[in-house]
Structure 1
């Protein structure tokens, strides 16, 4: 396996340069994210494989296309390249993903669903594991279908990818790798038979109650037989008390503050620091 040093993590350097040039203004949690990633690499807790990162970024930019708002190839901005490189390029000594739980909180109208769909299509068509199950989860099927539908639209815009798969009644199936992509309205008691490789938890900040936390735990625990699983919890900056957000956010901040012993959770919290402004559309 080829690994590189922190200095060769070019997508991190590109992102930091854009910040220094004033293209992006980061809140405290993303500043801590960068420091956390740098510390993990400098202390040897994880390694960076530039070939893995490059493969995923090139796939997104050459094989994925916008499906709403604009047309053309999905060209990533530097903050998106940084996220992709962290998810797929940061590995352990055996070459497996170091971070298996990814939490992304981002402002409204920043293309969250399209970005998640591009990640999902990339996983479905570039990961080596056979028999992958990719799930889009939400409390209601209508919400679960949002990223699922965008993923299918993105696949449909790629002639090669669409020929390899088939839309069935309740999922999209890729016969060559025995891979299925499905939307799922959650019910943890009915999820014990699943064997997810990738789970996308959309708008998790609006997931209410104990059932929401149970669903998260059930899906993660069901991945025990997977060699390189990945989970993405994504949402805009908002929350409902007593739900999944209350479970994940303290874990995320503890990791970034260095007060947690967790090693497989990586939060990307693109949030304004003043929570009183979360309801201000101009701020988000």
Structure 2
């Protein structure tokens, strides 16, 4: 009942899409008598009847289409069934899956996909030109976004009967655009019909005897001059840091009467002034009837504001492909993790339930972290194999030297032994700035104060060498920034130094491993207060492929000890086992 009341209140706020629209859910009376129902219409009717559980924005988009079937003729719009069917037939007959269990099979568009493709392409103006010049679609991950976009791009390029059609797969960087574009290239290679028509060269698609082309385009391209855009395929618009590329594509299609900019994205983290949120808000204004724009279309799949994200009956609202390419057990596993880890909750909400969030919470739950606080005597680790890491964030700030000890024998636990250094003359200033008791931690032996107002790297070097004598130190990871000189000196001291780039490739796996150790209670850090403070500060940097790593820029305060722990775990997980590596000594780059 609460759901129905909320929806009715939402309708009362909309002048066109609600009570004045004349639509009645589940009633065939909403279809004009002159319109012949098509197979794809059943999806829309099921949404309006409540047979398919959909969010308010999805229902409003469906209502807009059916309302326009009755009223849009007055505005010079017509719905052309043949145009809609032509696109659906092209994709299902000529485009093939390239990955997973369906690789090589022709694409079978799901009812919801057929419905929205029909809406996008079926609507025309009375002069025969395309109605929707911009289409914005928002849906959770793994709901076939890239496959659908690739099929649409190929249609615009090869089957839309546009002379000299220029179609672009757009991304913030050219390399990312190539990755998305590769799906279209694979479809061409796997389709006998498309292979006969289309040629591929250097990530670009062409049609012999025409000037048609379908190419990837990044915002980092040297120039965007001379573009004459018929189609722009924009995947994951939320990842675009600025509106620059969007505006370039938009202004480059002025000479085309049937151009289409098609953006399909998941939600993201709130970014003030982002182009994605701008397009999203514009669509919502149209759906709610506060703005009129017949050239802008779209649909949003997400949870309603009152929905409890933990209630799986709502998950289908953001995942229309639930049971096809999205599986309930996978969502349940992700939800269980989200209930325990703040960072996982943000990822689950944004990527799997398509809810826009503001990620300001810390990554690690300190209640879970504190389970590893049992004090241990570091002398019990003497002679044991370990991996170290140095994080020298600044010569005037906190520096971390961390040792990680993998499990041995019947003990399944990982031990973390941190050392922290801070310039003695800066300790009071750092205590005021960071609002933590540096002086007390120094007195208690948790921080080593180095003479002067900059970190004494020679003292750190001596500590590393002492630890190398006490423990079986295998490798030391370091970030080249601020540590190149110290790394060179330690390498000369016969310590194996490994430079670790601060990127997703090198840090995602150890970051996830640390997270797993904390959740499973298999980490032992002795309750070190400085490392605990660092752990509570960490905010993650994430990408669209569920990669993540500690983010110094977004984290609330110092996280040096955790960054060093993650780097040390990288070497513990992926360090060379070949003894010849240790015979060579020196600095290695990976």
Task: Kindly indicate whether residue 131 of structure 2 is the aligned counterpart of residue 63 of structure 1.
Answer: no
Indicate if the aligned counterparts of 1:105 and 1:270 stay in contact, CA closer than 8 A. yes
2:280 to 249, 261, 275: 249
2:348 to 273, 280, 284: 280
Alpha-carbon spacing, 1:39–1:123, altered in 2? closer, same or farther (3 Å): same
SS of residue matched to 2:66:
helix
Alpha-carbon spacing, 1:196–1:184, altered in 2? closer, same or farther (3 Å): same
* Equivalent residue number for residue 61 of structure 2: 33
CA distance in 2, matches of 1:181, 1:151: 9
Query: Shift in Å at residue 263 of structure 1?
Result: 1.8
* Equivalent residue number for residue 128 of structure 1: 161
Q: Any unmatched runs of 5+ in structure 1?
A: none
* Cα-to-partner distance string for 1:162-188 (whole Å, 9 max, x where unaligned): 122222225111124321111111159
2:216 to 172, 183, 202: 183
Indicate if the aligned counterparts of 2:81 and 2:122 stay in contact, CA closer than 8 A. yes
Indicate if the aligned counterparts of 2:172 and 2:245 stay in contact, CA closer than 8 A. no
Runs of 4+ in 1 over 6 A off after TM superposition: 20-23
CA distance in 1, matches of 2:33, 2:223: 44
* Equivalent residue number for residue 70 of structure 2: 42
Residues 29-38 or 214-223, more deviating: 214-223
1:164 to 181, 184, 197: 197
* Cα-to-partner distance string for 1:239-258 (whole Å, 9 max, x where unaligned): 44032112211111111111
* Equivalent residue number for residue 213 of structure 1: 243
Indicate if the aligned counterparts of 2:85 and 2:118 stay in contact, CA closer than 8 A. yes
Residues 96-105 or 114-123, more deviating: 114-123
Task: Kindly indicate whether residue 263 of structure 2 is the aligned counterpart of residue 230 of structure 1.
Answer: no
Indicate if the aligned counterparts of 1:5 and 1:41 stay in contact, CA closer than 8 A. no
CA distance in 1, matches of 2:222, 2:186: 31
Query: Shift in Å at residue 131 of structure 1?
Result: 0.8
SS of residue matched to 1:280:
helix
SS of residue matched to 1:190:
coil
Alpha-carbon spacing, 1:191–1:101, altered in 2? closer, same or farther (3 Å): same
SS of residue matched to 1:102:
strand
Indicate if the aligned counterparts of 2:48 and 2:59 stay in contact, CA closer than 8 A. no
Q: Which has the larger radius of gyration?
A: 2
CA distance in 1, matches of 2:281, 2:200: 39
Alpha-carbon spacing, 1:149–1:276, altered in 2? closer, same or farther (3 Å): farther
SS of residue matched to 2:258:
coil
Matches within 5 A, 1:78-93: 78-93=111-126
1:108 to 141, 147, 150: 141
* Cα-to-partner distance string for 1:199-237 (whole Å, 9 max, x where unaligned): 0111101211xxx32321221121111121011011112
* Equivalent residue number for residue 174 of structure 2: 141
Task: Kindly indicate whether residue 41 of structure 2 is the aligned counterpart of residue 13 of structure 1.
Answer: yes
Task: Kindly indicate whether residue 234 of structure 2 is the aligned counterpart of residue 204 of structure 1.
Answer: no
* Cα-to-partner distance string for 1:98-136 (whole Å, 9 max, x where unaligned): 011000111111111011111111222211111111101
Residues 16-25 or 110-119, more deviating: 16-25
Residues 74-83 or 182-191, more deviating: 182-191
Report the count of equivalent residues: 278
Residues 179-188 or 82-91, more deviating: 179-188
Query: Shift in Å at residue 273 of structure 1?
Result: 2.0
CA distance in 2, matches of 1:276, 1:166: 49
Alpha-carbon spacing, 1:163–1:13, altered in 2? closer, same or farther (3 Å): closer
**TM-score, with structure 2 as normaliser:** 0.44
Alpha-carbon spacing, 1:175–1:201, altered in 2? closer, same or farther (3 Å): same
Query: Shift in Å at residue 19 of structure 1?
Result: 3.5
CA distance in 2, matches of 1:112, 1:192: 29
Indicate if the aligned counterparts of 1:6 and 1:41 stay in contact, CA closer than 8 A. no
CA distance in 1, matches of 2:83, 2:208: 24
Alpha-carbon spacing, 1:146–1:271, altered in 2? closer, same or farther (3 Å): farther
